[in-house]
Amino acid sequence: MSVRPLWLQASCKPTTLCPKGEEPSSQGSATADVTCRPCTSGVTYKVRQRVLYLTLCCGYVAAVRDGYATVPYSVFAIHELFQDTLGNTPCKKQPVCGAGTELVNAANITAAALCQPCGMGSFIDDSLKKCKSWTTCGPGEEQDPAITPSATTDRKCRACADGFFSPSGNSCKPWVKCTGNQFESASPSALNDRQCRTATPCASDEYVVSQPAGTADRVCARSPKCVLGSTFSVAAVDKDIYGNALTAAVCTPCTVCPTNKNPGQSCTLTTDTVCVECGVECVPGVEYEKSPCTKVAKRNCTACTMCSPGLEYMEKRCVGALDTECANITVGNR
C-alpha cells in the first residue's frame, strides 16, 4: 500500500484576519496562521491558536493540530489601544483629549475615544473627568479680575473690599455717600448698599439745633413764642442752603408810637408797629384839632374862630379838638 506525502494530504487555508478590537500577536507562516490578541493590556487572555495553517499553498506541513493556548501580552493601559478595522494591522493608540475638552464616549478596544470642547461657562482640568460649570460667585463676592475663566480654568471669586457691596455675586460696587441734606437710614454691608434719607426740614417757627450727620437726622427746636400786640420776632436772617434757620428768633417789644406819631400798622407776631408822622401839635388857643392823626393822614390843625367884636362874645374857648363857640350879644347880656 502506497502512502501519499504529507504535503499532498494538506490543503491551503486563507490567513486569519484579526477582528475589530484585536491585532496580530504573531505573523503567519507557511505552517502557522496569524494569531490575534485584544487591543488591551494588563490581562491574560485565552486565545484560540491553530498550529497548522498555510499562508501559501506551497509549503510543507509537518503536522495538523488544533487547540487552545494561553497567550500573555505586553503591558499597556487598558483601552489605551484600539482597532476599528478588520485586518492584520497593529492596534492604534487612543487619542488623548486635549486641554479644555472632555471624553464623550467611553474608550473601548473597537472604537476611538471621542472628545468634545467644554461648553460656554464650563471648564475641565487635571482633577476632573468631565466638564464642570464655572463657580458662581455668591453675595458679597465678585469675580477675581486677575483670573479669567476659560475652558481650562475655573472662575475664582474674591470678597468685596471694605466700602463695596455685591448683592448677587456680580461686580462689587462702592457704597453710596449721603449728601449734606441726608442721613444714613440703613447701614451698608458687603451684601447691601447704604440707604440715605432726606433730612427733616425745620418749620418756619423752628431753628436748627444740629444738622444731619452719620445716622442722625436734623434736630430742630421751636423759637420762643411772642405775645401778639406786645412782642414780635423777625425771621432769622442766618439760614443754611436748604432754608433752615440757624438761630432762634428773638421776641422784641413792639414799638410804642410817641404823641406826635400814630401807629400806621399795628404790631404783629412777625412785624413791628409802623408809626405815621402826625405833624406838629396844634397851638392851644390859636388852633384846634379839626381831624386827628390817623394811619394814613396827619393831624389837621385849624385856626380858632374869632368872635365878632361888639356883636359876639366867647361862650366856649378854643381848646383841643373844639373850636371857639361864639354867642350874639343882646341887650340883657351886655
Domain boundaries, the chain: 1-96, 202-277, 282-334
Q: Could you say which DSSP state residue 216 is in?
A: B
Q: What local confidence, expressed as pLDDT, does residue 198 receive?
A: 97
Q: Could you say which DSSP state residue 243 is in?
A: S
d(CA 157, CA 7): 80
d(CA 100, CA 157): 21
Nearest C-alpha neighbor of 301 from the set 318, 325, 326, 276: 318
Classify 202-277 by CATH class. Answer: mainly beta
The three cell numbers locating residue 318: 378854643
d(CA 279, CA 260): 6
Q: What local confidence, expressed as pLDDT, does residue 174 receive?
A: 97
The three cell numbers locating residue 109: 478596544
pLDDT tens for each residue of the chain, 334 residues long: 555 555 555 577 788 888 877 888 877 777 788 888 887 643 333 322 323 332 222 232 333 333 333 333 222 233 577 888 887 788 888 888 888 998 887 667 788 888 899 999 999 988 888 899 999 999 999 999 999 999 999 999 999 999 999 999 989 999 999 999 999 999 999 999 999 999 999 998 899 999 999 999 999 999 888 999 999 987 767 899 999 999 998 899 999 988 778 888 889 988 999 888 888 888 888 999 998 887 778 888 999 999 998 888 898 999 989 999 999 988 665 5
